[in-house]
Amino acid sequence: MAVIRDMMPVFELFQPASVEDATALLREHGEQAWVMAGGLDSFDWFKDRVKRPAVVVDLGGIEALKGIESTADGLEIRAMTPLTDVVRHPEVREHYGLLSKAAELVASPQIRNQGTLGGNNSQDTRCWYYRDGWTCYRAGGNICYADTPTSMNREHAIFGADRCVAVNPSDTAPALIALDAKMVVQTADGERVVNAEDYFIGPGIDIMRMTVLQPGDLLTSIRIPSTWAGAKFYFEKVRDRQVWDFPLVNVASAIRVSGGTIEDARVAVNGVAPYPMRLTAVEDAIRGASQDEATAERAGEMAVRGARPLRQNAYKIPLMRNLVKRSIRVEA
């Protein structure tokens, strides 16, 4: 642990007004540069003096990165749109209520005013060992402090661990995956559009990153296709504390039902793996089944198959099973 905490070190602050200026700054400063959206993740790192970037590029002044617009095929939400605006937007509420519900359960009203949709999906993990500045795998070291016989890992992964057992803490990420959202990334080579489920990466791909974003890349907007507009949605977040807390487990589902039969479904959970998990096997299994208790039970059981709990987090197995079950059986 550090000898001092809670006091930001000095850095050079840039506040560009355009995406072009921002990307130019990122290219100029390369790995020295830190991209800051709402600051909720960044300031913790800075104040704890664990991450000490020389340059911080604050995206808060780029108006082009804010706002929600209807498109020919759904909705485009720019990355710096505050979560509160996502929650309140009439079209989000009416057609994509899953996202509005998920965003509303993030943290606290103040944090939702300041935090952005892009930031919520690009934030780092909350593993306390890692955030405390321990030189673990994710911090470039060669050990996972959270996965030992004495580790305190109640909030860690039951799936997808690969040296690192930290989880992705985002509430909106599973909702975006369930809605089949597309993440628009500005790279040095131009714009790249990535499926939401592919935006998040596990430690097997790169143990030091949570998303596909490379230094110099910028998430500029999130496109939600109309495919799932008006479907039956379910979002639930279980957390210790009802305000200002990350999920122990959350679940998002979008289901189309016809005559009691599930025509199609997308289901995703978070808080159980280093990335939000889309449950494709569950989706395949319930497609064509009747929306009843038996199907829901089966979905729940299927969802947790293969889970590998750590010392203190076996409870996540029944919790995830129950949440997936609830997300399937729900009558919207």
Partner 1 sequence: MANALIGKDFTPPDVRGKVTGRAKYAEDFRAEGMLFCRLLTSPMPHGRVRNIDASAALAMEGVIAILTADEVPEIPAPGNPILTNEPLYVGEPILAVAAVDETLAEEAIAKIKVDLEPLPFTVDPLESLRPGGPNARGSANTVVSGEGLKEIKWTTEDFDAVADGELPMGEPTATWSYGDIEEGFSGAAVVLDETFVTAGTSHHSMEPRTAMAYWQNEKCHIYGSTQSQSFVVPGLARYLGLEPDNVVYVGENCGGGFGSKGAAYPTMVIPALMAKKTGRPVMMRISRAEEYAIGSARPGFQGRVKLGFREDGRLLACDLYVVQENGPNGGFGDMSAAASAISIVYTPVAMRFRGASVLTNTPPRGAQRGPGQNQIANAIEPLFDKAARKLSVDRFAIRRVNAPDHDSRYGANRGAITSAYLGEALDKGAEKFDWQKKQAQSGQRRGSKVIGVGIGQAFHSAGSNGFDGLVRLTPEGKLHIHTGVGNLGTYSYAGTSRVAAEVLKCDWKNCVIERGDSSIGLPWNLGQFGSNTSFTMSRTNYAAAMDAVGKLKEIAARDLGGAPDNYEIGNEAVFRRSNPSRRMTYAAAAKRAIQLGGKFCGHEMADDLNPMTKAAVRGLAGTGLVGVAKDNLPRTGMVPALAAGFIQIELDLETGKFEILDYLGVADCGTVIHPQGLAAQIRSGAVMGFGMASLERQVYDPHYGLPRSVGLYQAKPPSYLDVAVGMGAEAVDQPDPQNPMGTKGIGEPLMGCASAALLCAISDALGGHYFNRSPVLPDMIINAASQRPQSHTPLQVNTD
Does residue number 312 form part of the binding site for partner 1 (CB under 8 A)? Answer: yes
Does residue number 298 form part of the binding site for partner 1 (CB under 8 A)? Answer: no
Q: How far is CA 90 from CA 2, 86, 95, 177, 252, in A?
A: 46, 9, 9, 21, 20
Does residue number 9 form part of the binding site for partner 1 (CB under 8 A)? Answer: yes
**Among 8-16, 79-87, 176-184, 280-288, the segment contacting partner 1 (CB under 8 A):** 8-16
Whether residue 80 contacts residue 62, with contact meaning beta carbons closer than 8 Å, is answered with yes
- Of 18, 188, 244, 288, the one binding partner 1 by CB under 8 A: 244
CB of 35 to partner 1, least distance (A): 22
Q: Which of residues 126-165 bind partner 1 (CB under 8 A)?
A: 128-129, 132, 145, 148, 150-155
Does residue number 313 form part of the binding site for partner 1 (CB under 8 A)? Answer: yes
Does residue number 319 form part of the binding site for partner 1 (CB under 8 A)? Answer: yes
Does residue number 4 form part of the binding site for partner 1 (CB under 8 A)? Answer: yes
Does residue number 311 form part of the binding site for partner 1 (CB under 8 A)? Answer: yes
The CA distance from 207 to 221, in Å, is: 25
DSSP for 13-53 reads EE--SSHHHHHHHHHHHGGGEEEESSSHHHHHHHHTTSS--
Does residue number 1 form part of the binding site for partner 1 (CB under 8 A)? Answer: yes
Q: Residue 7 phi/psi, 5° resolution?
A: -145, 115
Contacting residues for 242 by C-beta, under 8 A, at least 6 apart: none
The CA distance from 185 to 287, in Å, is: 32
Task: List, edge to edge, every strand of the sheet that includes 74-78.
Answer: 68-71, 74-78, 218-224, 182-187, 190-195
Q: Which of residues 44-103 bind partner 1 (CB under 8 A)?
A: 44, 48-49
Q: Which residues bind partner 1 (CB under 8 A)?
A: 1-10, 44, 48-49, 108, 128-129, 132, 145, 148, 150-155, 236, 238, 240-245, 248, 311-316, 318-319, 322-323, 325-326
